[in-house]
Chains A and B, each alone.
Chain A
Amino acid sequence: MGRQAGFIISKILELLATLFLVSLLTFVAFSVIPGDTAQVILGPDASQAQLDALRSELGLDRPMIVQYLSWLGGLFTFNLGKSAAFGTPVAGLIAERLPVTIGMSIIALIFVIVISYPLAILSARRPGKTLDQIFSVMGHILFAIPPFALSLIIITIASALFSGFRAGQYFAPSDNFGGFVGCLILPSFCIALPKIAMTFKYMRSSIIEQNSSEYVKNAKGHGLSDLRILVKHVLPNSNVSSITVISIVLSDILAGSLIVEQVFNLPGLGRLLLAGIARRDFPLLSGMVFYIAFITVLLYFAADILGSIADPRIRLK
């Protein structure tokens, strides 16, 4: 247990150092680039006196290090000041758009796991045979399709086939939760497809690798049924490597949703990001960039910890 605790503590320290660097990089990047929040708020016709007054009100005239520390403090208290373009608090704007992005990520992840695992198990039963080859070729093709292009193709075909088909409807989760989930299913599926292909590929080779190992041969020799070997021995061992893959898949899904929600006209983080970009809203953008990177770092951290629980050998490395 001592090793496990030591491993987790070293991972937590690593996490904190990474988050510090990520926050520093984000802050520095948005400080050195040209553009001025006061100018964005007041518009091009503002006088110098007005600009100076607003700058001191926003704290933009303080030394860089003070500005950084106050921004850093804001990150932890969800107080990032007001958006330059919307005039409302940044944290509130992000929270408002979060349900769509998180909902899509969860549904896409469910698609990935529910579809890729059974296919990988089927494929790995007889590697190199017809079924395996069909799945593998399909996997290669799906892997290459950009989710937004796939969404456009599916909408085009669906609206040609079904006259009633309409993309771009949205229901708020508080009004109509069923409708909310319903309108996220197709976009989530489009994001999930290339990731299904990726997870399938990893799971398939992981299961094949396990199947040729000594312990599986031994279990077979003892007369254990194939199903029992698969469920009790092969899958738990394959899961160890799939934890890392799933964490990469989730962060890709999150990034992919930024574009796909635009195709389906969904009010998620992607649309907020584009609005912020269009209006050069630096307080909003820096907050979004940090939080999205924060989630990514946290996912990899969780994968490391879960991996070490599932496979004690990782801790010893």
Chain B
Amino acid sequence: MKDPRSKSFYIAGFILLGIVLASFILSLIWTPYDPNATDPASKLMAPCAEHIFGTDNFGRDTFSRVMFASKYTIFISFAGVAIALLLGLLTGLPAGYYGGWTDRGIMLLSNSVMCFPGILLALVAVAVAGPSMFNVVWALGLVFAPTFARVTRVGTMEIKQRDYIMHAQVMKIPSPRIMALHILPNLVGTLLPATVIGLANMTLFESGMSYLGLGVQPPDASFGKLLADAQAYMTRAPWLIIFPALMLIIYILGLYFVSEGIRVRTQKGGV
């Protein structure tokens, strides 16, 4: 039975995501102004006809900068989740499939990594490797990998019990092939909600790190970086805070709504 709430979650989620995705795609071909072009004549201008989101302390157009920043926020969340997913699959599949000591070893490692608060781990990793977008991506990928490993492991353990896998084992199909061709495709349903939630959490972390100055470095910018730059002018130029913060919230909220839609749809008879 389909829950009608799942449809409203999907609609709300895709509308919110659409706003951020549209600004990202548009920014690839066009922005009203050059996002990095400074203009001393129009410093800290309030929103007006020429600059609908106002300008910053260098006279850069905030609307163009927000569009420009959406690219980095979206890219980092997707690239980070891709790495976490890949690592999670590479460890979770064998752990769930072979069981025994392989499982114990991999789970011990992933559980100990999960003892460290994620943001702390990511901050220290980036601090040591030097702040750059590339380092943020792999650090967050590593921090999120145990979550995906867990989901993959539990799913694999369940699918392993099915008859067709036993048939495949009897037919002496090599284990890596069974995992890649017969188990992995059936994990998509379990991994999809985890992936969407992962994108939202990744964005939460990345924006925090960029806010602390340990994420995206100039001249690149993400929503978190825009907020960090705006803080010194927040009382004089509130538009520098409000618009990037809204876009950040819209992106994360859109992802949450989509994941909630998936959850409500797949969950049977829940509250």
Looking at the assembled complex, report how far the CB atom of B153 sits from the nearest CB atom of chain A, in whole angstroms.
19
Given contacts A146-B208, A205-B271, contact A152 B115 (CB under 8 A): no
A159→B214 contact, CB < 8 A: no
- The interface bits of chain B over 112-149 (1 if a CB of A lies within 8 angstroms of the residue's CB, else 0) are 11011111110110011100000000000000000000
Query: Which residues does chain B contribute within 8 Å of A59, judged by CB atoms?
Result: none
- A229 adjacent to chain B (CB < 8 Å): no
- The interface bits of chain B over 248-269 (1 if a CB of A lies within 8 angstroms of the residue's CB, else 0) are 1100110111001000000000
- A144 adjacent to chain B (CB < 8 Å): yes
Q: Closest residue to B230 on the A side, CB-wise?
A: A152
B118→A255 contact, CB < 8 A: yes
A149→B120 contact, CB < 8 A: no
Query: Which residues does chain A contribute within 8 Å of B116, judged by CB atoms?
Result: 22, 25, 289, 292-293, 296
Interface of A is mostly: helix
Query: Which residues does chain B contribute within 8 Å of A155, judged by CB atoms?
Result: 234
* Other-chain residue from B200, B208, B234, B271 in contact with A208 (beta carbon distance below 8 A): B271
Query: Which residues does chain B contribute within 8 Å of A21, judged by CB atoms?
Result: 108, 112, 115
A18→B208 contact, CB < 8 A: no
Query: Which residues does chain B contribute within 8 Å of A35, judged by CB atoms?
Result: 128
B115→A22 contact, CB < 8 A: yes
* Other-chain residue from B115, B235, B238 in contact with A296 (beta carbon distance below 8 A): B115
A152→B120 contact, CB < 8 A: no
Query: Interface residues of A, CB < 8 Å — how many?
Result: 48
Q: In the bound complex, how far is the Cα of B212 from the Cα of A197, in angstroms?
A: 25
Query: Which residues does chain B contribute within 8 Å of A156, judged by CB atoms?
Result: 234-235, 238, 241-242
B128→A262 contact, CB < 8 A: no
Query: Which residues does chain B contribute within 8 Å of A258, judged by CB atoms?
Result: 117, 119-120, 123
B123→A277 contact, CB < 8 A: yes
Q: Closest residue to B251 on the A side, CB-wise?
A: A144
Given contacts A152-B241, A156-B238, A159-B235, contact A292 B120 (CB under 8 A): yes
Question: Which chain B residues have a beta carbon within 8 Å of chain A's beta carbons?
Answer: 108, 111-113, 115-121, 123-124, 127-129, 200, 204, 207-208, 211-212, 214, 227, 230-231, 234-235, 238, 241-242, 245, 248-249, 252-253, 255-257, 260, 270-271
5 CB < 8 A contacts A-B:
A21-B112, A35-B128, A149-B248, A208-B271, A258-B120
